[in-house]
């Protein structure tokens, strides 16, 4: 998320500019460039900003780091498939089919429920 000022006599108005790729992309709250600091290891996960604390991969990595074990999250940006679609999103149809199968079987997990979004 980046911003630019709208000129004029009124106080400056910041207009959000969302970018899918590059240093101004990110998790819809924090731009990618602000996550990098020299000398600090950065780990990556494909997740919304608000979803990071509940993400099972993040939680697993936090527990591992607490126990002095290596993290499971990558320290490089996830690769993208042709067309700019993140690899994790490319198999969305398959993920939905698996989720539906678990739902119909009454075998949903906590992680499954956290992934669901119900619109009004």
Instruction: Based on the fold, state whether residues 94 and 120 are members of the same structural domain.
Output: yes
Give me the number of domains the chain comprises: 3
Phi, psi values for residue 94, rounded to 5°? -65, -40
Q: 22: alpha, beta or left, given left = phi > 0 and alpha = psi -120 to 50? A: left
More confident residue, 117 or 52: 52
- How many whole angstroms from its chain centre is CA 33? 15
Instruction: Based on the fold, state whether residues 57 and 71 are members of the same structural domain.
Output: yes
Instruction: Based on the fold, state whether residues 120 and 86 are members of the same structural domain.
Output: yes
Three-state DSSP state, 113 = helix
Instruction: Based on the fold, state whether residues 7 and 25 are members of the same structural domain.
Output: yes
Rounded distance, CA 23 to CA 119, Å? 31
Instruction: Give the predicted TM-score (pTM) of the model.
Output: 0.46
Q: What is the pLDDT of residue 70?
A: 93
Instruction: Based on the fold, state whether residues 54 and 21 are members of the same structural domain.
Output: no
Range of 84's domain? 80-120
Q: What is the pLDDT of residues 61-73, one digit of tens each?
A: 999 999 999 999 9
Q: What is the pLDDT of residues 45-97, one digit of tens each?
A: 888 778 888 899 999 999 999 999 999 998 887 665 444 555 555 566 777 78
């Amino acid at each position: 998320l980046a911003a630019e000022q709208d000129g004029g006599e009124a106080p400056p108005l910041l207009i959000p500019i969302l970018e899918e790729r590059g240093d101004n992309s990110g998790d819809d709250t924090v731009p990618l460039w602000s996550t990098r600091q020299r000398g600090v290891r950065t780990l990556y996960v494909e997740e919304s900003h608000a979803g990071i604390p509940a993400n099972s991969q993040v939680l697993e990595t936090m527990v591992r780091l607490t126990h002095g074990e290596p993290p499971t999250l990558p320290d490089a940006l996830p690769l993208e498939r042709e067309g700019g679609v993140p690899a994790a999103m490319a198999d969305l149809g398959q993920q939905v089919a698996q989720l539906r199968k678990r739902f119909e079987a009454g075998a949903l997990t906590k992680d499954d429920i956290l992934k669901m979004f119900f619109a009004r």
